Structure 1
Amino acid sequence: MAYRTVIFDFDGTLADTLEESRRIYNVLAPEYRLRQVTAEELPALRKFSLLELLGHLDIPKRKVPSLLSRGTSLMRGNITKLPLIPGIAEILPVMRERAECFGILTSNATANVDLFLRAHGLRQLFDFVSSTSKLTGKSKHLRAICKTFSERPEAMLYVGDEIRDIKAAKKAGVAMAAVTWGFNSAESLKAEAPEHLVHKPAELLGLVGA
């Protein structure tokens, strides 16, 4: 099916923020009495769902909102210097021409996303940038986006890089394109049975109506 509305996740999907996120987490870890994460650990962590990751790192759920808020604030200082995922800049203008609606739904701050997109000359491509302060709150926002744009859920595609993105899309009745270049591994994403498993940005072009 060629989708008319395309909604993107931000971190790990459009922006290569993984190493910056690890750096910020390690800056905050001592204050929250958490252990730091090494670069060598990242491949092993890619197989975990959100709850599994929190358990593995011994992060209490009650600390997550504060960590997320503090982390996104700290990221603002370097956001314009962070790179796009290789190949994304080339496909976004083509996808935008084919889609009726183009947006971003993220757990990052809208101000961060806006700064990043403007730094890379891409802000004009997107109709909106929406943020949820909850790591598991995307399904509600996806349903709201459908209602706002009077779009049938089956005509919408959510593009993201994490297991939690797939779960949110399924809960909202929206098709999912899980990209393998972000946080979660291809194997862990495939196990969640997304409608589409995407290994290269160019593969997204075939999912949007001309």
Structure 2
Amino acid sequence: MNNSKYEAVLFDLDGTLLDTALDLGKATSHVLSLYGLPPISDETARTHASDGMRALLRSGIPESEHHKYDFEAMRLQFLPYYHEHIADRTRYFDGTAELITALKRHGIPYAVVTSKPDRLACRVLGKFPELADIGVIVGCDTLPVSKPNPEPLFYACRKLNVTPEKCLYVGDHIRDIEAGRNAGMKTALALWGYIKDKSNPQAFGADYIAEDFKQLAQIIGVEI
């Protein structure tokens, strides 16, 4: 029975539901190696993972040399490698599986709205049993627009047949909080995610700040 104040919970993916940074970093380092450039560190991967592929690639090249590289061509080299190695080192965050199980137990619908391409989002989620049956996955290429535009969140709500104003959106990037706000949703900042500066989480403007999945569960109104 759903006793939560929310009709549904929407999640970002990278840095929110799954710790994907090390595989994203590995794919980045692979592409950089094709150009004779050194690999990026795991820490650099975590710092830039929520900013997208181009940001990861740029992180491995001095800014003064960015003009020398075709980042769209590099992105196209990134994609097939990452597709094949998408879950080599990707892991649940502590509490991911338990929260999803609790949402199912309480009959609370949930969806993923991510900046990852739809095909890659479906592939990585399919590698994890508790996430493999998520029926609504909205990627950055599902619609002509992406976060922080609210339309991907509206689209997910239409698929779930829920009201945006009665939903919670959870993410680790300012883009996520802005998207949720633009959609009229309540928002929760995933403090365990890839946040560059965690010293002032209030600056994101989220309605809630969750330090871990246990605290997020309390915000939602379920127990894990």
Bin the TM-score by the shorter chain: 0.7 to 0.9
Task: Give the Cα separation in 2 of the matches to 1:104 and 1:32.
Answer: 34
State the Cα deviation string for residues 92-116 of structure 1 (Å, max 9, x = none): 1102233442111112233333333
Q: Distance in 2 between matches of 1:18 and 1:208?
A: 26
User: Which structure carries more relative contact order (alpha carbon 8 Å, separation 6+)?
Assistant: 1
Mark the CA change 1:13 to 1:65 in structure 2 (over 3 Å): closer, same or farther: farther
Q: Sort the Cα spacing of 1:171 and 1:64 in 2 relative to 1 into closer, same or farther, 3 A.
A: farther
Find out whether 1:144 has 2:158 as its counterpart. no
Q: What is residue 120 of structure 2 aligned with on the other side?
A: 112
Question: Where does residue 177 of structure 1 map in the other structure?
Answer: 188
Q: CA RMSD in A?
A: 3.5
Residues 42 and 99 (structure 1 numbering): CA distance in 2 closer, same or farther, change over 3 Å? same
Structure 1 distance, partners of 2:75, 2:5, is 34
Letter of the 1:173 counterpart: G
Give the direction of change, closer, same or farther, for the CA distance of 1:66–1:168 in structure 2 (3 Å limit).
farther
Give the AA of the match of 1:118: G
Please report how far the alpha carbon of residue 209 of structure 1 lies from its aligned counterpart in structure 2 after TM superposition. 4.9
Deviation at 1:11, TM superposition (A): 0.9
Distance 1:49-1:11 versus aligned 2 partners, 3 A rule: closer
Residue of structure 2 in register with 1:16 after alignment: 19
CA distance in structure 1 between the aligned counterparts of 2:31 and 2:200, rounded to whole angstroms: 28
Is this contact kept in 1: 2:126–2:133, CA < 8 A? no
Q: Which amino acid aligns with 1:194?
A: A
Amino acid at match of 2:83: R
Cα deviations across residues 115-167 of structure 1 (Å, max 9, x unaligned)? 33333212455231121139x81222012223444432221111111111112
Q: For residue 191 of structure 1, give the secondary structure of its aligned residue in structure 2.
A: helix
For the 8 Å contact 2:170–2:189, the answer to whether it is kept is yes
The 3 A distance-change label for structure 1 pair 40 and 8 is: closer
Cα displacement (A) at 1:207: 2.8
Q: What corresponds to 2:199 in structure 1? A: 187
**Is this contact kept in 1: 2:136–2:156, CA < 8 A?**
no
The structure whose Rg is larger is 2
Question: Structure 1: which 5+ runs fail to align?
Answer: none
Whether the 8 Å contact between 1:49 and 1:163 is mirrored in structure 2 is: no
Percent of residue pairs bearing the same amino acid type: 22
Distance 2:35 2:80 in 1: 16
TM-score w.r.t. length of structure 2: 0.72
Deviation readout 1:8-66 (Å, 9 max, x if unpaired): 111111111112222222333466898864345568x47x988xx69987468xx6666
Correspondences of 1:20-39 after superposition (within 5 Å): 20-29=23-32, 37-39=40-42
